């Protein structure tokens, strides 16, 4: 199986086509865990180092760690998570053929799409969310730097463990030539229009009859009123920004501009951001309108 793992890793990173990758080895804490052992072991490797490290990754996987991958820095890809086989077929039929499809568990897929150009962070997040919306993927996992699973290793989630203690392998499907999907230009045009509209709205969203610009989250962070309390700052900024018409997506991006690693792995960080925005919406009386 070790050779199959190596082949799967090579196929995946060739299809992704990046120079450097971030690898995440995640093992959630349990009551029996060693508290000194970190939940996430991060690594940043180029292709050659990643290939050489496959035996070590196999060992870590056998010890309960899930193996994840994402491009390092801004990149040309979007990952759409939690897709069905029918959704993959529809993507191909409608001009959104993925560069790579990974079966993360039986009947569940992640698709990586090649936009043909490196996208800035905000645009990359909008593109990922547009794709997740269009094909019924996981919108909570749609952002510019979300981890996907690395093929060739087992999915160690407890719910997939069989009666004999085995876990399913993450499998790589057929890969496409390194070129953008046919509908890339149309999708990027649409999300750029959304981005430009949102920026324009932010510039004009100050109080009526006032041309004062909106305050940034950095101004809240430097305000001694909040005594450097990140949670208070995030909530105060969210209330202020949402009340002035800033989109929830823009507010979430602002909150995520600080290091949220103390909140836990990426899914817990997203949960924190969602809770903060929900509290802010409740404060300004906007829950029922969203």
Q: Are residues 158 and 238 in the same domain?
A: no
Does residue 192 fall inside a structural domain? no
> Is 143 inside any structural domain?
yes
Residue whose pair of structure tokens reads 């929830």 in the numeric block = 248
Residue 276 and residue 251: Cα distance in Å, rounded?
Answer: 10
Please identify every stretch of the chain with a pLDDT value under 50, giving residue numbers as ranges. Answer: 201-202, 204-211, 286-290
- Assigned domain for 195 exists: no
Beta strand segments in 72-159, E: 75-83, 100-105, 108-119, 148-149
In a domain, 222, yes or no: yes
Q: Does 252 lie in the same domain as 117?
A: no
Domain count, the chain: 2
* Domain shared by 138 and 276, yes or no: no
Neighbouring-strand partners of residue 105: 108
What CATH number is attached to the domain comprising 88? 3.30.70.1790
71 sits in which H/E element: strand 66-71
Q: Are 73 and 20 in contact (CB under 8 A)?
A: yes
What does the pLDDT read at residue 45?
A: 98
pLDDT for the residue numbered 2: 67
Q: How far from 222 is each of 213, 227, 229, 260, CA to CA, in Å?
A: 17, 9, 10, 18
Query: Per the domain annotation, does 230 fall within a domain?
Result: yes
Give pLDDT, residue 198.
59
CA atoms of 122 and 131, how far apart (whole Å): 14
Q: Please check whether residues 99 and 234 belong to one and the same domain.
A: no
**Smallest Cα–Cα separation from 24: which of 118, 146, 141, 113?**
146
pLDDT in tens, 237-289: 998 888 777 888 889 989 999 899 888 888 889 999 999 998 888 776 643 33
* pLDDT given for residue 137 in this prediction: 94
For 59-86, b where at least 16 C-beta lie within 10 A, e where not — what string? ebbeeebbbbbbbeeebbbbbbbbbeee
Q: Is residue 198, in this structure, part of any structural domain at all? A: no
* 44, 171: one domain: yes
For residue 257, the tally of other CB atoms under 10 A from its CB is 13
Domain that includes residue 129, residue range: 2-178
102, 96 in Cβ contact below 8 A?
no
For residue 121, give Cα distances in angstroms to 79, 174, 185: 14, 28, 18
pLDDT at 73 (0 to 100) = 94
> Across the strands, what pairs with 23?
43, 69
Instruction: Report d(CA 78, CA 187) in Å as an integer.
Output: 12
Do residues 40 and 167 share a domain?
yes
Inter-helix orientation angle 2-16/54-62, to 10° = 110
């Amino acid at each position: 199986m070790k050779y199959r793992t190596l082949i799967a890793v090579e196929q995946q990173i060739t299809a992704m086509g990046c120079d450097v990758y971030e690898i995440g080895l995640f093992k959630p804490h349990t009551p029996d865990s060693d508290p000194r052992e970190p939940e996430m072991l991060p690594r940043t490797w180029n292709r050659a180092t990643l290939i050489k490290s496959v035996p070590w990754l196999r060992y870590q996987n056998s010890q309960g760690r899930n193996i994840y991958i994402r491009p390092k820095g801004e990149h040309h890809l979007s990952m759409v998570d939690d897709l069905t086989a029918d959704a993959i077929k529809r993507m191909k039929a409608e001009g959104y053929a993925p560069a790579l499809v990974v079966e993360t568990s039986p009947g569940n897929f992640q698709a990586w799409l090649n936009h043909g150009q490196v996208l800035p962070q905000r645009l990359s997040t909008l593109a990922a969310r547009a794709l997740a919306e269009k094909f019924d993927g996981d919108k909570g996992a749609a952002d510019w730097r979300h981890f996907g699973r690395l093929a060739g290793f087992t999915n160690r989630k407890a719910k997939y463990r069989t009666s004999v203690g085995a876990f399913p392998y993450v499998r790589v499907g057929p890969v496409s030539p390194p070129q953008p999907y046919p509908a890339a230009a149309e999708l990027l045009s649409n999300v750029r229009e959304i981005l430009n509209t949102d920026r324009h709205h932010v510039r004009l969203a100050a109080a009526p009859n006032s041309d004062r610009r909106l305050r940034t989250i950095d101004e809240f962070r430097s305000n001694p009123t909040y005594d450097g309390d990140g949670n208070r700052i995030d909530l105060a900024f969210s209330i202020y920004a949402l009340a002035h018409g800033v989109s929830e997506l823009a507010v979430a991006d602002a909150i995520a501009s600080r290091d949220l690693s103390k909140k836990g792995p990426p899914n817990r960080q997203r949960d924190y951001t969602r809770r903060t925005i929900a509290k802010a919406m409740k404060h300004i009386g906007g829950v029922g309108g969203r």
